Amino acid sequence: MSATACPCGSGRPLADCCGRFHVGERAPDAESLMRSRYSAYVLGLEDYLRATWHPATCPVALGLDAVPRPQWLGLTVKAHTPLDETHATVEFVARYKLNGRAFKLHETSRFERVDGRWLYVDGEIRE
């Protein structure tokens, strides 16, 4: 990977940030996984998104090839709350444009660690 800045907004190169999770390293916590999933949406990495989604809640289709495609503009993590050794939540705001209009996705996501790997379970959209 190049020295391209990571889409998650850390200011670090992609290869040193979320890119290492995209190629197989395990995310150490739910926030790191959430950031890497945001970057995967930006980069269109459907296989990674599926691999990090809890199998009980992973949808059949992710729609990453939908037209028009969102233009992801940035991520702000508002809170990372470990609940216990295997459960955590992450509240975030992701900004994007679609058809020239700006939107924001404000979500509190639930994560579970299964066999040592953090997985996205689901999220509650907030206003």
Q: Is 117 inside a domain boundary?
A: yes
What's the whole-number mean pLDDT along residues 104-124? 98
* Domain contains 6: no
CATH code at 28? 3.10.450.50
| 77-94 pLDDT tens trace | 999 999 999 999 999 999
- Structural domain boundaries enclosing 107: 14-126
Predicted pLDDT of residue 84 = 98
Low-confidence winner among 1-10, 22-31, 118-127 (lowest mean pLDDT): 1-10
Residue 5 lies in a domain: no
Q: Is residue 91 part of a domain?
A: yes
2 is a domain residue: no
Record the pTM.
Answer: 0.94
Residue 122 has pLDDT above 80, yes or no: yes
Task: Please check whether residue 7 lies inside any domain of the structure.
Answer: no
Structural domain count, the chain: 1
What DSSP string describes the chain?
A: --SPBPTTSSSSBGGGTTHHHHTTPPPSSHHHHHHHHHHHHHHT-HHHHHHTB-TTT--S---TT-SSPPEEEEEEEEEEEE-SSSEEEEEEEEEEEETTEEEEEEEEEEEEEETTEEEEEEEEEE-
